[in-house]
């Protein structure tokens, strides 16, 4: 069956090893080819009794899932739900840096999702068009959030998303001194310096800017391009006192305007969904956001939840005090951590109740 929206020839992965970067995971061994390239799924036979992380629903539904690569997901997915024959999981791979840079990754995900939402494709796989959700973690959460915002504004789309689930998502690159960035600047797995470098990689920027960005020189008070966006991530008002504690905002009076002039993508809501207009946010679907205490990205998720709530969106903010970035993948021996199992189960429970 030819595709009306053909996939890119080189479907791959954006990122570096710690940023929710890859999608060659194995959800269910018979579906391996389905996961490698979404356009191969015409030959896939769904098992009668698959056991998926995202397939705890005993009804016909569809989840579009972007996840961190790890073989641990095979065991996690296979053991997480008792029955899942009513759910079809569609995993989308997108292309790598340095082969392509922002916004090509978003284009890949948008094209793939639009293809799958075509009525004839949904019908072929017996998918209820009213039960389609999208989910992603880390960088996948960034793309899922951006996709949700774009679809929300696309009047040509007949089928809309019912839910979005964002797992410790990356949502902004304007403030690298939120309380969670300050608290976890040297936390293993995703320290602040590494996170800033990932952003520069994504935009094909200059590494010479990294140190200046770490101290927020790219959004200083003399950078006019950032002035209208600061209120949208003003964490002194968006975060509760239990999170802000005694941390102070880092706002430079004079910075380096050259950074946003050379990397204007930093201020693009497609890369930083947290700074989207309120008018965009108010039509987003029911949302689940999982955050972890020991994660530089914690406050991105909490602030996004607050902005969505203010826009009238129904939001579940699921915070784990003992969680760390990427913890959901640690669910099988020898890294079968309690917090990995609990975050996974909490996520699945919400999807089961809301999709």
Report which of 178, 174, 317 is spatially closest to residue 237, judged by C-alpha positions: 178
CB of 88 within 8 A of CB of 41?
no
Question: Whose structure tokens read 């102070």?
Answer: 248
Query: Hey, what are 42's tokens?
Result: 């015409």
Helix 139-153 and helix 104-116, axial crossing angle in degrees, nearest 10:
60
Contacts of 163 (CB under 8 A, 6+ apart): 133, 134, 285, 286, 287, 288, 351, 354, 355
Q: How many helices (H) and strands (E) does the chain have?
A: 15, 6
List, as one string, the DSSP characters of 297-308: THHHHHHHHHHH
- 171 half-sphere exposure, CB direction, 13 A CA radius: 34
Report which of 116, 152, 208, 188 is spatially closest to residue 196, judged by C-alpha positions: 208
Say how far apart CA 130 and CA 248 lie, in whole Å: 44
- 236 half-sphere exposure, CB direction, 13 A CA radius: 8
* Residue 72 backbone phi and psi in degrees, to 5: -60, -25
CB of 127 within 8 A of CB of 61?
yes
Report which of 329, 271, 331 is spatially closest to residue 14, judged by C-alpha positions: 271
State the catalytic residues. 138
Which long-range contacts does 153-159 make (Cβ < 8 Å, 24+ apart)?
153/280, 157/114, 157/117, 158/117, 158/119, 158/129, 159/117, 159/119, 159/122, 159/129, 159/132
Say how far apart CA 346 and CA 43 lie, in whole Å: 33
Report which of 140, 187, 173, 223 is spatially closest to residue 322, judged by C-alpha positions: 187
């Amino acid at each position: 069956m030819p595709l009306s929206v053909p996939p890119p020839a080189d479907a791959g992965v954006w990122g570096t090893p710690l940023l929710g970067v890859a999608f060659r995971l194995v959800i269910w061994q018979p579906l391996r080819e389905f996961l490698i390239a979404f356009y191969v799924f015409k030959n896939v036979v769904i098992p009668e009794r698959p056991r998926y992380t995202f397939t705890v629903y005993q009804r016909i539904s569809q989840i579009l899932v972007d996840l961190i690569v790890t073989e641990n997901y095979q065991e996690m997915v296979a053991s997480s739900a008792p029955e899942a024959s009513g759910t079809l999981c569609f995993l989308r791979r997108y292309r790598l840096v340095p082969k392509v840079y922002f916004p090509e990754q978003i284009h890949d995900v948008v094209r793939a999702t639009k293809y799958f939402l075509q009525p004839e494709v949904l019908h072929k796989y017996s998918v209820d068009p009213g039960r389609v959700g999208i989910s992603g973690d880390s960088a996948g959460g960034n793309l899922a959030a951006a996709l949700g915002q774009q679809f929300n504004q696309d009047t040509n789309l007949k089928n809309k998303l019912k839910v979005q689930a964002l797992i410790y998502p990356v949502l902004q690159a304007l403030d690298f001194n939120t309380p969670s960035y300050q608290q976890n600047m040297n936390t293993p797995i995703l320290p602040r310096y590494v996170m800033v470098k990932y952003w520069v990689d994504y935009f094909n920027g200059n590494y010479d800017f990294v140190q200046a960005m770490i101290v927020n020189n790219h959004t200083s008070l003399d950078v006019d391009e950032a002035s209208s966006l600061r209120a949208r991530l003003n964490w002194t008002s968006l975060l509760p006192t239990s999170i802000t504690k005694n941390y102070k905002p880092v706002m430079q009076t004079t910075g380096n305007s050259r950074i946003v002039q050379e990397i204007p993508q930093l201020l693009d809501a497609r890369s930083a969904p947290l700074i989207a207009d309120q008018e965009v946010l108010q039509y987003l679907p029911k949302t689940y956001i999982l955050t972890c205490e020991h994660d530089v990205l914690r406050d991105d998720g909490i602030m996004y939840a607050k902005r969505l709530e203010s826009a009238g969106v129904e939001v579940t903010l699921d915070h784990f005090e003992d969680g760390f970035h990427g913890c959901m993948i640690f669910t099988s021996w020898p890294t079968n951590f309690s917090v990995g199992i609990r975050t996974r189960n909490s996520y699945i429970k919400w999807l089961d109740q809301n999709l």
